[in-house]
Amino acid sequence: MARTIMIQGTMSNAGKSLLAAGLCRIFRQDGLRAAPFKSQNMALNSFITAAGGEMGRAQVVQAQAAGIAPDVRMNPILLKPTTDMGSQVIVNGAVVGNMTALEYYRRKNEFIPAVLEAYHSLAAEYDVIVIEGAGSPAEINLKREDIVNMGLARLVDAPVLLVGDIDRGGVFAQLYGTIALLDGEERRRVKGTIVNKFRGDRAILQPGLEQLERLCGVPVAGVVPYLHVDIDDEDSLTERFCRATARKLVDIAVIRLPRISNFTDFSPFERYENVSLRYVGSVRELHQPDLILLPGTKSTIADLLWLRQSGLEAAVQKAAAAGTLVFGVCGGYQMLGRTVSDPEGVEAAGVTQAAGLGLLPVDTFFRGEKKQTQARGVFGPVEGLLAPLSGMAYEGYEIHMGRSAAERAPSWWGAETSTAATSTVFSTPPASRMRCWASCARARASTRPDWAASTRGLTGSSNMTGWPTECAADWIWTLCIVCSTAARSEPADGGNAKRLPGRAAVFYGRDQASIWRPRNPAMVCTSL
């Protein structure tokens, strides 16, 4: 059976996740087989494992630090907030349903067997289990039903290191107050305290550390300096949203939706010296970016209504009409369509339908079944702005409950007329049907006014829509990738297909929506 160590904090964002990841790496370097564990995680940033299970990103980073593959057993319960009062509950990687906070609190004990089963199965395979708590163990109103802090420590007999954040101020009060609110058995589990995010001369800090040890009766195990690290953030407590970022040569604005999810998808842009990545929450902050990104969200309709009420919807539409590239990912892509419908209340947002931004000729419907998968492939020929992507390999994922249907499906489509709104990724071997295309477009307002509203600034991924039989040459298509299933080079419908000016791999035949099937099937992902 594995040895156990647990990291708890005085508050959220005290640095538990990073310290747990550091311990995982240290144990690995010492020749031990280590695995992370967090019984209950509340986060909108999630990950899809190779087996198709969903888990929190913090445990993914910790698993990578330990040199092992992420496993849903490392995070048996994941809570993804859908409203201020409720969350989607995911157990062992699969959706159980939506619950209010009170309902989940009452049913929490039902999930203890799943938590213990996940823990013990990991403990049987590894030498050390590094457990991360959540929030604070001193939330005295929640202690009775706790399964993530001292409640879990008691169940698995784990010693605890308590972490405080000195960067926020009041670290001595944090640590002393937390320990003071623990009962006797819980206090005995605390084997040391850690002062995290320290900047300055430790000699000045030392008298306070000595007094803290006398007051708490617990040694200070260490003082960890403030580290500038670039790892996936666990949730919306990230500092990224608060950074003052100067606009650079290429300016990218991410719309900061109230329930923004998986915003870590955009982190790679931060690595480019001449690229600014800004998170925008108001029209005043938008300015005139070169690219607008609509991110994913756990509550698409509610965040779409917020986008409308804030004035950002009109600002995005105005920018698209002026030629600014607008790119939607997951829920952000769904918002770009004509309508978003949730007749069964899958999102539990209280609103069943809302009009979209109208930049894409698609409609999105939510269903109870959640799509969770990884996929990889190779980009086919790409023209225009994103031409360098041609032939490049990619790896991506799908997490969504919405399905987006095109305005008019071609005759060869068959019965299945909808697919993933979030990524539409197909790996080798190819999928059984041609099901996706992705496009980023800029258009002159003067060209084809009847299509200007639905295609200007359009971006995203969807099923193949029914395009008009002709397209003016002065449309500038920066990307159009077609997903194919056949390794042959002929029009899909047998018609007299012709290539339209400036468009990559899209042809029009007798049914006005045929696709040229390339010799090397191309695949698409827009959720990287």
Domains annotated on the chain, with CATH: 3-225 (3.40.50.300), 239-508 (3.40.50)
Provide the residue-wise pLDDT of the chain in tens; the chain has 528 residues.
899 999 999 999 899 999 999 999 999 999 999 999 999 998 888 899 999 999 999 999 999 999 999 999 999 999 988 877 888 899 999 999 889 989 998 898 899 999 999 999 999 999 999 999 999 999 988 888 899 999 999 999 999 999 999 999 999 999 999 999 999 999 999 999 999 999 999 999 999 999 999 999 999 999 999 988 777 655 555 666 666 677 889 999 999 999 888 888 888 888 888 999 999 999 999 999 999 999 988 889 999 999 999 999 999 999 999 989 898 988 999 999 999 998 888 776 677 889 999 998 989 988 777 788 888 889 888 776 678 889 999 888 787 777 888 754 333 223 333 333 222 222 222 322 222 222 322 332 233 333 333 333 333 333 323 333 222 222 222 222 222 222 223 333 333 333 333 322 322 222 223 232 222 323 222 222
For residues 17 and 35, give the distance between their C-alpha atoms in angstroms, rounded to a whole number: 13
The bridge status of strand 339-341 relative to strand 362-378 is parallel
Rounded Cα distance between 244 and 463, Å, is 38
Helix axes 202-216, 171-180, angle to 10 degrees: 10
pTM listed for this prediction:
0.64
The count of C-alpha atoms lying within 13 angstroms of the C-alpha of 163, restricted to the half-sphere facing its C-beta, is 26
Burial class (CB in 10 A: 0-12, 13-18, 19+), 230: exposed
Q: Is 183 exposed, middle or buried (0-12, 13-18, 19+ CB in 10 A)?
A: exposed
User: For residues 39 and 72, is the Cβ–Cβ distance under 8 A?
Assistant: no
Omega within 30 of 0 (cis) for the link into 159: no
Q: Which of 18, 12, 15 is nearest to 61 (CA)?
A: 18
What is the DSSP-derived secondary structure letter of residue 432?
A: S
